[in-house]
C-alpha cells in the first residue's frame, strides 16, 4: 500500500514539476499523432495533468476536454481502493458493476470526441489540444 501511494505521489510530483510545454522531451510523444497526424483521445493529457496539478481546471479542459472527467473518476476509484486497504472493508461508495450500456456509451463518447476534435472547422477546433 505504501508503494501504491508513493507511486501516485511521485507521478503527480513529476507532472507538477515538469511542464510539457517547456520541456516536450520530458513526456512520451503520442505515437498515434506521429503516425497518422491526427489527435487521439489522449492528446493533451500531459498538459492537462500539469494544469490540474497547478489548480488550473479551465486550462485542463482546454487541453483535453475529457481528461478532467477521467481524472476525477480515476481519483475516486483510487481513493476507494486506498480506503478499502486501510480499513479492510469498503467505506466509500462504488458501484458493484457497471451496466453494459454505460461501457458502450463511454466508448461512443470517446470515438465521437476523437472524430470531432480532428475536424479542422470551428467549433470543432476548440476540442483540439
Summarize pLDDT for 20-29 with one digit per residue, the tens: 989 888 888 8
pTM here? 0.85
Backbone φ, ψ for residue 44 (5° rounding)? 100, -5
Local structure of 39: helix, strand or coil: coil
Per-residue pLDDT reduced to its tens digit, 36-86: 999 999 999 999 999 999 999 999 999 999 999 999 999 998 899 889 888
Measured at the alpha carbon of residue 95, what is the angle toward residues 63 and 67, in degrees to the nearest 5? 5
Amino acid at each position: 500500500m505504501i508503494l501504491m501511494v508513493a507511486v501516485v505521489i511521485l507521478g503527480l510530483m513529476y507532472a507538477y514539476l515538469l511542464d510539457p510545454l517547456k520541456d516536450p522531451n520530458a513526456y512520451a510523444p503520442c505515437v498515434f499523432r506521429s503516425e497518422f497526424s491526427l489527435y487521439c483521445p489522449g492528446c493533451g493529457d500531459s498538459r492537462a495533468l500539469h494544469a490540474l496539478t497547478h489548480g488550473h481546471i479551465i486550462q485542463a479542459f482546454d487541453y483535453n476536454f475529457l481528461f478532467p472527467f477521467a481524472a476525477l473518476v480515476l481519483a475516486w476509484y483510487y481513493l476507494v481502493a486506498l480506503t478499502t486497504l486501510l480499513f479492510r472493508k469498503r467505506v466509500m461508495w462504488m458501484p458493484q458493476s457497471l451496466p453494459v450500456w454505460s461501457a458502450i456509451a463511454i466508448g461512443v463518447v470517446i470515438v465521437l470526441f476523437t472524430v470531432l476534435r480532428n475536424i479542422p472547422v470551428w467549433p470543432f477546433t476548440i476540442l483540439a489540444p
